Amino acid sequence: MSELEVKKIKALLDSNNIEYILTEHEPVYTSEQAARVRGADIRCGVKALVLKTAESKFVLALIAANRRVDLKKLTKHLETKSLKLAKPEDVLKRTNCEVGSVHPFGIIHKLPTYIDPSVQENEYVEFNIGVHTKSIRMKSKDLIKIIKPKILEISSD
């Protein structure tokens, strides 16, 4: 959807001297498709989910692609009455990305970012970067360094 997001992410990584590999591939819309096309273990994938609180605030939750977000856990951490997946139109408006292509760089859009420890279980992580046809592979420790998320257990099998 947005080549602008690709440019922003590359500029952010380059300006911080972060090593990464940018890959172009057929369009992918699910974690399973992405893992297959990338030739990677699904556990290395990062799901970036835009969520909406009861107070109509948006947050970004990052979990390993083989896991599910546990909304109850995150709702409790955020001390909100409820939390739900943002509507596709809200995701696009807040991130300039379609659902399924959202990247983990919440800092670009001033989205508070929460990451599950499952993302750090692998040395490398892979994720779409604003379009369904481009992915980045980079060290998980570098991702944490750049995005400075709150690390919370927010997923389940």
pLDDT tens profile 60-112: 999 999 999 999 999 999 999 999 999 999 999 999 999 999 999 999 999 99
105/8 Cα distance (integer angstroms): 10
Pairing verdict, β 46-53 and 58-64: antiparallel
24, 28, 89, 145 from 150: Cα distances, Å: 30, 28, 26, 11
Burial class (CB in 10 A: 0-12, 13-18, 19+), 127: buried
1 pLDDT exceeds 70? Answer: no
Looking at the structure of the chain, the number of domains it has is 1
Contact 80, 54 (CB under 8 A): yes
Burial class (CB in 10 A: 0-12, 13-18, 19+), 69: buried
Ramachandran area for residue 54 (φ above 0: left; ψ -120 to 50: alpha; else beta): alpha
Please report, for the domain that includes residue 73, its CATH number.
3.90.960.10
92/99 Cα distance (integer angstroms): 7
What pLDDT is stored for residue 2 in this prediction? Answer: 75
Burial class (CB in 10 A: 0-12, 13-18, 19+), 84: exposed
Contact 26, 34 (CB under 8 A): no
HSE (side-chain half, CA atoms, 13 Å) at 38: 29
Residue span of the structural domain in which 84 resides: 3-156
146/142 Cα distance (integer angstroms): 6
156 pLDDT exceeds 60? Answer: yes
131 pLDDT exceeds 70? Answer: yes
What pLDDT is stored for residue 75 in this prediction? Answer: 96
What pLDDT is stored for residue 3 in this prediction? Answer: 86
28 pLDDT exceeds 70? Answer: yes
What pLDDT is stored for residue 99 in this prediction? Answer: 94
57 pLDDT exceeds 70? Answer: yes
Q: What is the mean pLDDT of the chain?
A: 95
